Amino acid sequence: MQVCEACQADAPKVSDEELKELLAQIPDWIPQVRDNVMMLEREYKFKNFKLAWAFSNKVAELAEEEFHHPSILLEWGKVTITWWTHAIGGLHKNDFICAAKTDQLLD
């Protein structure tokens, strides 16, 4: 399993070609552009607030382990996770690693 690497402000963003290849590995994630920043986003559905909350906590623990922190929007029966690399203002391979690891939290 891959792990995040420390990312500096001069780290390369993923190229358009890499983006296509990496998205194929995490098909439920959608690239979004907000304020000119490319991000990865996925919405997870749950039967109630408590299950969504428990999943949010797992994502927060993953973020601390990886030292890479997403946006986590917790709602009744739904959690929206958004990964991007703040230091470079876009997507780095770390974001794809963390997105894949987020999916594994459902197992």
Give the model's pLDDT for residue 8: 58
| Average pLDDT of the residues in 81-97 | 94
Residue 42's domain is classified under what CATH number? 3.30.1360.20
Does residue 105 contact residue 81 with C-beta atoms inside 8 Å? no
Give the model's pLDDT for residue 12: 82
On whether residue 4 sits in a domain, the answer given is: no
On whether residue 11 sits in a domain, the answer given is: no
Over residues 9-65, the pLDDT tens digits come to 667 889 999 999 999 999 999 999 999 999 999 999 999 999 999 999 999 999 999
The end-to-end CA distance of the chain, in Å, is 16
How many Å apart are CA 6 and CA 11, to the nearest integer?
9
On whether residue 8 sits in a domain, the answer given is: no
Give the model's pLDDT for residue 92: 94
